[in-house]
């Protein structure tokens, strides 16, 4: 009798600056986990993003991501990007995760705004050999795969949360609340370390 074939572990990879992590990120990850029957979603805070300036310290962003995901047994957080020197490129993230988990199938999760830029990313064609890409809907951004290899990209409508980290930072700097936009522990972390007070 043939040995039963072992199902490969299915891992979602949610990359982001997470400055701060908010409920839009968490809903996106949760919906993709459910829809694609993933065993785990790894949140990967970026190191120094090459397209963004004035980003909060990596350690703050990492800790907020840990706080936000701690209560979900299917969510974990990886330090691969913040511990790697130099700018963060998704190709390096995926190569490193693939080397650490050669048995796993990887699903890279990104919002409609980010996926539209994939072809500009470093080593874009190799990205698709390392992971399947899942683009989730995001208010204000059309969800389309135009120009992308359709067999490597899936689209998923998720409950619309018109939340961005930029808006959260701006709200904090203007003294507006971010309760219910980010997890409670993240509200308290932002307040404890006086993040986003002077500039957005």
12 binds ligand ATP (CB under 6 A): no
Residues 122-181 that bind ligand ATP (CB under 6 A): 136, 138, 161, 163-166
Q: Which residue of 74, 92, 96, 113 would you call a contact of ligand ATP, by CB under 6 A?
A: 113
Give DSSP secondary structure letters for 23-50: HHHHHHHHHHHHHTT-SEEEEEE-SEET
Count residues binding ligand ATP (CB under 6 A): 18
* Residue closer to ligand ATP, measured from CB, 8 or 139: 139
Minimum Å distance from CB 70 to ligand ATP?
18
Q: Is the separation of the CB atoms in 135 and 60 below 8 Å? A: no
Segment lying near ligand ATP (by CB under 6 A), choices 21-29, 73-81, 143-151, 174-182: 21-29
Distances (CA, A) of 19 to 6, 60, 66, 177: 38, 8, 13, 16
- Residue in 64, 8, 16, 63 with CA at minimum distance from that of residue 40: 8
Residue nearest to ligand ATP (CB): 111
The pair of three-digit structure tokens given for residue 27, joined into one six-digit string: 């809903």
Minimum Å distance from CB 24 to ligand ATP?
2
Q: Which residues fall within 8 angstroms of residue 141, CB to CB, at 6 or more apart?
A: 111, 112, 113, 116
Q: Which residue of 25, 43, 134, 183 would you call a contact of ligand ATP, by CB under 6 A?
A: 25
CA 100 to chain centre: 19
Residues that bind ligand ATP (CB under 6 A): 16-19, 24-25, 28, 110-111, 113-114, 136, 138, 161, 163-166
């Amino acid at each position: 009798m043939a040995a039963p074939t072992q199902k490969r572990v299915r891992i979602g990879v949610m990359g982001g600056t997470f400055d701060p992590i908010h409920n839009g990120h968490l809903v996106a990850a949760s919906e993709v986990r459910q829809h694609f029957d993933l065993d785990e979603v790894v949140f990967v805070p970026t190191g120094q993003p090459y397209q963004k300036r004035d980003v909060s310290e990596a350690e703050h962003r990492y800790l907020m991501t840990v706080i936000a995901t701690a209560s979900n047994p299917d969510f974990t957080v990886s330090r691969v990007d913040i511990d790697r020197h130099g700018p963060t490129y998704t190709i390096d993230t995926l190569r490193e995760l693939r080397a650490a988990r050669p048995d796993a199938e990887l699903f890279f999760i990104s919002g409609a705004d980010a996926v539209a830029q994939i072809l500009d990313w470093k080593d874009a064609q190799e990205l698709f050999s390392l992971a399947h890409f899942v683009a989730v809907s995001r208010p204000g951004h059309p969800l389309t795969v135009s120009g992308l290899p359709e067999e490597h990209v899936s689209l998923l409508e998720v409950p619309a949360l018109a939340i961005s980290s930029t808006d959260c930072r701006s709200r904090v700097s203007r003294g507006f609340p971010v309760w219910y936009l980010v997890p409670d522990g993240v509200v308290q972390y932002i307040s404890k370390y006086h993040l986003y007070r002077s500039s957005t």
